[in-house]
Structures are given as C-alpha cells and as structure tokens.
Structure 1
Amino acid sequence: MTDKILPREAVEFFRRKSLKATDHWTDLWHGEHARFFTVARSVYADILTDIYNEIDKAIESGETLRDFQKNLKPVLQRKGWWGKTEDGVQLGSMRRLRTIYDTNLRAAYAAGRWERIQRRKDYMPYLQFIIVDDNRTRASHRVWANKVYRVDDPIWNKIYPPLGWNCRCIVRQLSRAEVEARGLKVETGPELQYVSWLNRKTGQVQLVPYGIDPGFDYNVGKANLRVKSREQVADKAASWPAEITDNTVRNMVKDEDFADFYEAPSGYYVVAAADDLIKKTLKTEVSAIYFSDESLIKNKHHHPDLKLEDYQNIPEVARDYDYLVQDTEKSVVAVKEIKDKKYWLAVKITRKGDEIFTQSYHLTYEAQIKSLLRKGKRLK
C-alpha cells in the first residue's frame, strides 16, 4: 500500500469501527469487518487500542509501513504481545504487522473509494479492474485484468478489490467517453464458479468464489455504506412519531438491506416501533426499537430455528401483540401468534432512557407464556 494520505472517506470508514477482541480473523465475516476493528488473538483491550491508534495515524497522515512497525514493535514487546507463545501461537511479528497495516489500509482505501464512486456514477458509470502487472499477481486475479463492468453490475458484490491477503488490485472509474476513446468493451458480469472452504474453527463449510480468499468475497464499500445508512436512519428514527416509525420499519424489514443485516450483522437496525403503552411503561418518549449486531449474533446462536421471515415479523409482534408484560422496571415482553407460531420479543430501555433495544426474540409456548403472566405485570 502506498504511504500517501488516504481520502477523507477512508478515515471516516475506519473511525466508525468499534474494537472487538477475537481469536481468529474469520470470527468476523464480510460486513462485520466494516463495523469492527479486530486483530486475532489480541485479547487485551490496550493492545488492540494501541494497534488501532497506529493504524488510524497511518490512514490519516500517510505513515509508512516502516514507521508503523518501528512505533508498534517496542510497545507490543513491552506488553508481552510479541513472538510465539509456549503452544506455538503467533502473536506480534514484523511480518504480522505488515499484514495488519496492509489489510486495514487497503480496506479503508476501498471503502472510501466506493463512496466516491457512488457520487460520480451518473457521469462515470463504469469500473475497470486494474492489476499490478508483475509476477506477484495471482493468476486468479489476473483473469479480471482490464475488464469493464457497469458500477451497478452485481459482479462488484464479489470481485471489488481487495480479493485477498496482500492483494494490490484496484478499480478505475470511467466515463462513457473514456471507455470509447480507449476502445474498451463493457461486459455483463459472468457467473462465478464457487469452491468449498472449511472454516476449521467453526466446522462450517462455506462456498467462496474461485480465486478469492475466504472472507474477501464481498464489497467492503457497500458494507460500509450500509452501516453508515443504518446508523443515519437509526439516529433519525429516535425522534420520529410512532406511526411513522411503524410504517417505515414494516417496509424496511422486507428490504434487501435487512436481509444483508440478518446474514452479516453490522451496526444496528431499527426493527420496530414502540406504541404508547410500551413508551409509558418504559418511561420514554422514543419510539424506535433497535436490534444491535451483537444481540442479533447472540440471538441467532441461541435460536437457530428462526429464519429471516421470522425476524421480519418483529414489527408486527411489537405493535400488534396478544400479550404485553412488564417483567422488570426497564423491560417488557410482547407475545404474538402469527400463522401458528408464537413469538416472544423482549425489549429494554437504556439507563439514560433514550433508546430501546431488543434483548431477545424467539419462539415460545403456552407454559412459558403462563409463567410470564404469573410472574410479571400484565399490561394487555
């Protein structure tokens, strides 16, 4: 990656990230990398923060790889995060710092670049895939060299670079006049061939496009804009009247973006609108009910029987409930039967009283409902 200062959009992309400790890079997947910053096996918050701050400096000021390594190495050595552990696990090393630097700067550049591409696509509607033409470029990346597709071609959902570790590929945005002047041919993205990849940590087998490293087969720019858009909507929704929030959310959960959020949670999503009874009980004026990425990830883990269409019922459960019960001072449970399924939605107001978040969402049964009614304060 160059040591030039990256565009403002790249800096904003990186600074929107939250820090998250993980054991392995694949613990976060696709769009989750647009929401979180992680370094595998950096279990201590101060180490993750040190690396994050140095990356931030590199993105904002153009700090070189050499300076990045020189600044971080003594800090990480002093804190014991260097070399290999007794059981052979690699912690910090010069090579690993190079990978961390390269991966994060390229992702930030790509995300910022995509934001600019979207602003210019009306008069520059094409993208050309550009490789570095030397013996280090992978053959599987070389096949895309100089290919031109429309900005909105779905192929960019999978082949928008970087396509893997240390990938140096980029895209060039072109106008119609530039395409014609260079004698280029605009094509329609082809069907991709997929290969099976085993995630050794989870045991899951996933399909990834041939020639693209696992975890890189997504568009980081699109993922970034989705996170940004969700957060903007979520911020505005806090002040919307309940009726507007309800109508808007019922449409939003049917949208492709909600399906993306369900598949790869990142950021937070407005999933329902609290009615007057819920607001009065929770002593709040806000209507928007959010589902955070972390809560959704946990919920999917604990309740794998729920599918996308079940989550799309949340607005109805929250608004047209059969039962509403206050189970604690700051939380309520709504129960609703839809098409022979009984849903349980628990929501909680934050300590400041300015946001309502989903605690849990799952299928329920008569005995559990009776227990809730017996122990809690029935409101409906």
Structure 2
Amino acid sequence: MSNNFVPKEVLAFLQRKKLKPTDHWTDLWHGEHARYFTVARSVYADIVNDVYNEVVKAIAEGSTLKTFQERLTPILQTKGWWGRAEDGVQLGSPRRLRTIYDTNLRTSYAAARWERIQRRKKSRPYLRYVCVLDEKTRAEHRRWHGLILPVDDPFWSTHYPPNGWHCRCMVQQVSKEDIDANGWTVGESPEESYRSWENTATGEVKQIPVGIAPGFDYNVGVANLRVKAREQVAEKLRKINPAIAATAVNRLVRCEDFADFYKNPQGYFAVGVVDNIIKQALKAEASVCCLSDETLLKNQEHHPDLTIDDYRLMNHVLSDYDILVQDTAKSVVAVKKIADKNYWLAVKVTRKGNEIFTTTFHLAEDRQLRKLMTKGKRLK
C-alpha cells in the first residue's frame, strides 16, 4: 500500500488522534480507535508518542515496513521497551512493529476511503467486496469476494474491511454502469452467524460475526466521520455569537446524535456555553464547553445515578448557576439547584486557552458545597 501520494484524509485521520497509553489491546474498542492512538502494554506516554510519531512519518512519506522498523527499533530499545518484560509480557518486537504499522496503515486508508465513498455515493451507490485471492486469504473472507451491496447496507457497518489483523481485503465503489458492463449482480445482505468471544481482560463476552477478528467488527470510516462531524460542530459554534450558540446547544443535546454519544461515547460533544464571568476567569478565547468521550465514560462509571436527561442540563448549569467558584487558575465549578438537586459541574480551559471542557459532573451534598466555598475564590 506504500506510495508517494498520500490522500490528505489519511493523514488527517491520524493527526486528529489523541495519544492514550493502555495496558491491554482491548482497552480501546471499535470507534475509540478513531479518536485515540495507543500501543498495548505501553504504560508510559513517551513510548506511545515515539511510536505515533514514527507511524505518522512512515505513512506521510510512504515508507516501507522495513524503514519503519529500522527507525523505531533503536528508539524503543534505548528506552527498554523491547523483548519480553519480567512478567513475560511481549513488548517491542519485529512482529509487533509489523502489526502496528500494518493496522494503522490499513485503517487510516479505510477511514479516508469511506469519506470518498460518501462523497461519491450518488453516482456510485454500490460497494463490491474484493479479496486478494491467494494462499494467505482467509476462507471466511474469500466467500465475500465479489459481493455487491448498496453503500448504506447494514452489512458494511460490521464487514467494512479491514476485518482482521493483516487483512488485505478492500472495497471497490461501483456504479450501475460498472455492474452492467462487467456482468455483475447486486446481491443480498448475507445472514451472518455469530460466535461468542470473551475479553480476557474484563471477562465480558461479546458476539462477533464469524470470519471477523474481535475488535474489527465495526466500520472505521463511520466512526471517523462521526467524530469528525462532532468536532466540526463544536468548532463552528465557537465562531458564532454565544447566545446563538447556546440556543443551538440546547437543541443539539436533545437530538439523536447526543443520545448516541451518551450510549457510545466517541469524540467530544458541545454541551454548554459559558458566560463572560467564567470566560474571563479562565482567560479563555472561546465560550463553548465540550464533553469528551473519556470524561463521559469516567463520569458514567463514578456517577451512575445520572441519566441522559441530567447531562442535558449542563448548559443550564453553566448559564444560570447559583454558585460559581474558581478552584484553580484553569478551572471553575458551577453549581445549580434544580428540582431539589444540586448539580455540580466543573470545567477547565485547555493550555492554549481556545477550548473549554467539562472535567466532572455530579450531584452534590450540602457539605460538599460548604467545602467548595472555602476551597477557592467565590465568583458568585
């Protein structure tokens, strides 16, 4: 797949990712890979950063696997992330670097390809599954070779390649004229069978389509566009009048996409607009406040009593708070009593000052409020 021309969408997919050290390869699942870059067994951020930089460089330059390995191997060896650890865990190795290189290369191109598919689906409304058809091709994938289905067929939500480690399958976007000229026919979405697979790290059992490796039964292109769209919405809101942005946010958190974000957090979502008091306290350039997938997941774990309707109140808490305390130079806590409940919402500004994110959201007891007001600077 290496070549000198790299579509801008390929690099944009990689460059938009945030780095996240993880212990197990299942710590990130499905669409989370559209938002984060990780290396399993990498507990230190500098290892993830080193690998990420070399992956981006290799794909941007169209470098071969050999060149990628030659550049990265001495870096990882110098930092001690090579061979087997004392507990027997495999760290860096030629095989691992091949998997990292191959997976990122193929998923990046697959995400970029899906963007192009969506742009062209009016004139080319079908996708044809294509295998390499050699001795390395998986038998399960071979049976899908030549299958033609509409772009929006549900089959592609789980079977859009790559469908496993080192899977070389692709899709070919075709028109009705292409189908007629080649004597092809549009098929029907196959009835797939499923197998149980246990995540050994968590004990959770998932149902995986037969023929697809665990973790690959999703469409990386759909996940990428979902994350990208949410980020674009937030960016547009930052550029308009705050009052108009606040009205838009109130509508957005009641739409289907926010419900999807709540159930399956990916990317970040605009959930509120701060007033000038908060903006000045944080020395922020923007007024829009966003909720990230990582914060939402942590919040759902630590505060399971909150429902989606509670999260829809975030903008109300930020715009009409009863208590406002600046607890650090970069963060404030807003509290609003609604229906006898004290909603506590903490937000922070990023280092550059151009973005505001929530850090925690929960119901607070009176004793917590008393402690808050002795902790920081009372703004209201």
TM bucket (normalised to shorter chain) is: 0.7 to 0.9
2:173, 2:368 → 1: CA distance? Answer: 57
Q: In the alignment, what sits opposite 2:159?
A: 159
Q: What is the Cα deviation at residue 23 of structure 1?
A: 1.0
Letter in 2 for 1:54: E
- Relative to structure 1, the CA distance from residue 174 to residue 86 in structure 2 (aligned partners, 3 Å threshold; closer, same or farther) is same
Q: In the alignment, what sits opposite 1:324?
A: 323
Residue pair 1:153, 1:188 contacting (<8 A) in 2 also: no
Q: What is the Cα deviation at residue 348 of structure 1?
A: 3.1
Is the partner of 1:328 in helix, strand or coil?
strand
* 1:72 to 2:75 alignment: no
Q: In the alignment, what sits opposite 1:129?
A: 129
Q: In the alignment, what sits opposite 1:53?
A: 53
2:208, 2:338 → 1: CA distance? Answer: 38
Residue pair 2:326, 2:379 contacting (<8 A) in 1 also: no
Q: In the alignment, what sits opposite 1:203?
A: 203
Q: What is the Cα deviation at residue 327 of structure 1?
A: 4.9
Residue pair 2:274, 2:287 contacting (<8 A) in 1 also: yes
Which structure 2 residues correspond to residues 1-380 of structure 1 after superposition, within 5 A? 2-5=1-4, 6-187=6-187, 189-190=189-190, 192-275=192-275, 278-279=278-279, 286-319=286-319, 323-328=322-327, 330-337=331-338, 343-350=343-350, 353-365=353-365, 368=368
Letter in 2 for 1:197: W
Q: What is the Cα deviation at residue 130 of structure 1?
A: 1.1
Q: What is the Cα deviation at residue 368 of structure 1?
A: 4.4
- Relative to structure 1, the CA distance from residue 213 to residue 236 in structure 2 (aligned partners, 3 Å threshold; closer, same or farther) is same
Residue pair 1:241, 1:287 contacting (<8 A) in 2 also: no
Q: What is the Cα deviation at residue 279 of structure 1?
A: 4.3
Aligned residue pairs, count: 377
Residue pair 2:325, 2:373 contacting (<8 A) in 1 also: no
List per-residue Cα deviations over 1:216-247 (Å, max 9, x = no partner). 12111122222222222222222322222122
Q: What is the Cα deviation at residue 18 of structure 1?
A: 2.2
- Relative to structure 1, the CA distance from residue 272 to residue 48 in structure 2 (aligned partners, 3 Å threshold; closer, same or farther) is same
Is the partner of 1:195 in helix, strand or coil?
strand
2:202, 2:325 → 1: CA distance? Answer: 38
Letter in 2 for 1:261: F
Letter in 1 for 2:156: W
List per-residue Cα deviations over 1:79-123 (Å, max 9, x = no partner). 322211222111111111111111111111101111111121121
1:94, 1:121 → 2: CA distance? Answer: 40
Is the partner of 2:336 in helix, strand or coil?
strand
Residue pair 2:333, 2:344 contacting (<8 A) in 1 also: no
Residue pair 1:82, 1:91 contacting (<8 A) in 2 also: yes
Letter in 1 for 2:2: D
Letter in 1 for 2:327: T
Letter in 2 for 1:141: H
Q: What is the Cα deviation at residue 297 of structure 1?
A: 2.8
Q: What is the Cα deviation at residue 165 of structure 1?
A: 1.0
1:254, 1:260 → 2: CA distance? Answer: 11
Letter in 1 for 2:209: P
List per-residue Cα deviations over 1:173-210 (Å, max 9, x = no partner). 01121122233333453554443322221232333333
- Relative to structure 1, the CA distance from residue 311 to residue 186 in structure 2 (aligned partners, 3 Å threshold; closer, same or farther) is farther
1:358, 1:229 → 2: CA distance? Answer: 19
2:311, 2:152 → 1: CA distance? Answer: 28
Indicate the RMSD between aligned Cα atoms, in angstroms. 2.8
Letter in 2 for 1:171: V
- Relative to structure 1, the CA distance from residue 52 to residue 352 in structure 2 (aligned partners, 3 Å threshold; closer, same or farther) is closer
Letter in 1 for 2:43: V
Q: What is the Cα deviation at residue 375 of structure 1?
A: 6.9
Letter in 2 for 1:85: A
- Relative to structure 1, the CA distance from residue 360 to residue 130 in structure 2 (aligned partners, 3 Å threshold; closer, same or farther) is same
Residue pair 1:18, 1:36 contacting (<8 A) in 2 also: yes
Is the partner of 1:186 in helix, strand or coil?
coil
1:85, 1:123 → 2: CA distance? Answer: 53
Q: Structure 1 segments of 4 or more deviating over 6 A? A: 373-380
List per-residue Cα deviations over 1:329-377 (Å, max 9, x = no partner). 6413232436x76533222344665433212112345554566578777
Q: What are structure 2's unaligned runs of at least 5 residues?
A: none
Q: What are structure 1's unaligned runs of at least 5 residues?
A: none
Residue pair 1:128, 1:147 contacting (<8 A) in 2 also: yes
List per-residue Cα deviations over 1:259-305 (Å, max 9, x = no partner). 44334434322111224564466565632111123322322222233
Higher alpha-carbon deviation: 265-274 or 309-318: 309-318
List per-residue Cα deviations over 1:18-67 (Å, max 9, x = no partner). 22211122111112211221111233344333322222232122211222
1:34, 1:92 → 2: CA distance? Answer: 23
